[in-house]
Amino acid sequence: MLSNTRPPQLPKPTNQGTYTMFIPADRPVSADILLSAIDNLPLPSPIKFGIFGLSQNAVGRLRADSGVEGLAHLVTPPRAILARFLATDQDLVLPLAFPTVSEFVDHLDAVLPAPPDLRTIALTLGREESAASRWSRGENLSAYPAIRTMMALVSIDPTKTKHRWELLSRMANREARLRGIESLDNAGSWGAKIQPWLPSNMSNGGTARVTISGGPVNTHA
């Protein structure tokens, strides 16, 4: 069963009343973008890096990747989707309990009027469609930290599950298109269409950064 405990809301700067993460609306999430976004989370470093599954060594590698001139190293799809999700919904709370994949699927089945199938769930969380087959057989039900965080944030408040699942789906599809995957559903994969490195001066990318935290601004996919 999913915990009904309501954890504390993310701490907010006293001068703004909200936390703000900046994510480009026209570029996929690369190492430099992710690090900048995480830096803006008003949480202790072990917590904010931990929810993305980033160890100290992994953070060091990301910082090294972000310093390669002329190239941008894409982060894993789950981390990219989680970053966009956190930047878009500022009413999120820190989860105290993390559902398993089975619990998350059961929660969506119970709460959503039209629950997604396992394939859609896997792709939306940044996994390949093959993960759905393994889940259906009861295999590999453990999840990466970024995926566990997304599942917890979507399911922690049943009254907001529908909105947050729809929002997460939009963020996943946006990130996929920015990575060159026109239809995530048709592709069934995050890894077959692109290389992990892209030119840092991608068309329409540049250095422009827009805030998509809170409200309806840039939240449509």
By the 8 A CB rule, do 98 and 38 touch? no
The whole-number pLDDT of residue 67 equals: 75
pTM of the shown model = 0.76
Q: Find the mean pLDDT for residues 188-208.
A: 59
Model confidence at 201: pLDDT above 50: yes
User: How far is residue 155's CA from residue 198's CA, in Å, rounded to a whole number?
Assistant: 34
The pLDDT, as a whole number, for residue 12 is: 37
Closest of 25, 30, 23, 27 to residue 196, by C-alpha: 30
Q: DSSP E strands: which ranges in the chain?
A: 71-73, 197-199
pLDDT at 164 over 50: yes
pLDDT in tens, 176-186: 999 888 899 99
pLDDT confidence tier of residue 209, bands split at 50, 70 and 90:
very low
- For residue range 26-51, list pLDDT tens digits in order: 889 999 999 999 988 878 888 889 99
List, in order, residues 6 or more apart from 148 with CB less than 8 Å away: 98, 99
pLDDT higher than 80, residue 129: yes
